[in-house]
Amino acid sequence: MTKPKLDITLCAPRGFCAGVDRAIQIVELALEKYGAPVYVRHAIVHNKYVVDGLRQKGAVFVEELDEIPPGDAPVVFSAHGVPKAVPADAKARNMFFLDATCPLVSKVHIEANRHFNEGREIVLIGHAGHVEVIGTMGQLPAGAITLIETTEDAEAYTPRDPGKLAFVTQTTLSVDDTSAIVDVLRRRFPAIALPHKEDICYATTNRQEAVKKVAPQVDAIVVVGAPESSNSVRLVEVARRAGCERAVLVERADAIDWSQFEGIRTLGITAGASAPETLVDEVIEAFAQRFDISVSAHGAGRETIVFNLPRELRVA
């Protein structure tokens, strides 16, 4: 049988961001320099393929420090950031730790501390339970930060002093959703202090913009990424709002539900910031088994931002 034709448009940029790339490098270089095991608190990034690959090299993933036996094995904190209590606990246990927190998440932590020290009440726009939100809220004493998830939350929020208020945001949110919440806060509290520079990271913004441009032109969109990955889930939502109802999140090629792609002639493919290009190639190959494909790229290409490694690993 002749395979049906399918035009695939690859969104650019897509996949790994500088923070994810740095976090993975930190684990790999720690394994190279110190040997296995290297303990990692929480999944280093939200991608099972990446985590499994590091586990095969000797990384041991734990959720809490008390799961780590006494010894001198390094401990790595994930890219999402941790509450202040975690490094304090590690020091109390005489652990050698490496912080793989994305510098853009660290920027939000610094900003929250600055606002707190200047006497402001802080609003954090984000998703309850996400590890980045837990890490950011854990930078300050309980009650110093109020989490707001929706415009309804923003309308209902009552600060102690509207004149001493600031907001920060999770770095992996929908740009449009966040903008709507910020609009409510600024309307209700004109004196609210804004971030010096937008907290939503460049990679999240760039990937969402690329999807917005491709979505109206294709019959379906595949977002390669994990369901735990906030920025990947947001890409699906952005694609649907931009006009592509058949936008689906796919973790690996073997998880594709082919019934969702019956009759399509055009397909967009992107990847969340924690999904490696290998998985994008795997998905393209899976479509090539069933369709006569042609592939083109759309967008600005690769990003050039690079973050420094921790001092302890720069000589490795």
Is residue 139 within 8 Å of residue 84, measured between CB atoms?
yes
Do 63 and 132 lie in one domain? The reply is: no
Angle (CA) 190-155-145 rounded to 5° is 75
Give the pLDDT score at 30: 97
Give the pLDDT score at 304: 83
Looking at 132, 155, 228, 262, which residue is catalytic? Answer: 132
Tokens found for residue 226? 């994990």
Give the pLDDT score at 257: 97
Among 45, 76, 102, give the residue marking a domain's end. 102
Do 213 and 295 lie in one domain? The reply is: yes
Which mean pLDDT values do the consecutive 10-residue runs of the chain (316 residues) have?
94 94 97 97 94 98 96 96 97 96 96 96 96 97 96 97 96 92 97 85 92 97 96 96 97 96 97 96 98 91 85 78
Number of domains composing the chain: 3
Cα Rg of the chain, angstroms = 21
* 241, part of any domain: yes
Among 188, 211, 236, give the residue marking a domain's end. 188
Give the pLDDT score at 199: 77
Do 284 and 209 lie in one domain? The reply is: yes
* 309, part of any domain: no
Distance CA 175, CA 237 (A): 11
DSSP 305: -
Give the pLDDT score at 196: 76
Tokens found for residue 314? 């720069």
* 158, part of any domain: yes
Domain containing residue 83: CATH number = 3.40.50.11270
Among 84, 102, 120, give the residue marking a domain's end. 102
Distance CA 178, CA 203 (A): 15
Do 178 and 145 lie in one domain? The reply is: yes
Do 228 and 246 lie in one domain? The reply is: yes
Do 179 and 222 lie in one domain? The reply is: no
Query: Is 132 assigned a catalytic role?
Result: yes
Distance CA 88, CA 79 (A): 18
Do 255 and 292 lie in one domain? The reply is: yes
Do 96 and 113 lie in one domain? The reply is: no
Domain containing residue 278: CATH number = 3.40.1010.20
DSSP 288: H
- Print the domain residue range for 98: 18-102
20: phi > 0 → left, psi -120 to 50 → alpha, else beta; which? alpha
Distance CA 256, CA 283 (A): 8
* 181, part of any domain: yes
Tokens found for residue 20? 């994810």
Nearest alpha carbon to residue 85 among 102, 65, 100: 65
Distance CA 277, CA 297 (A): 14
Nearest alpha carbon to residue 306 among 11, 20, 111: 20
* 253, part of any domain: yes
Do 44 and 98 lie in one domain? The reply is: yes
Do 89 and 128 lie in one domain? The reply is: no
pTM of the model: 0.93
Give the pLDDT score at 316: 45
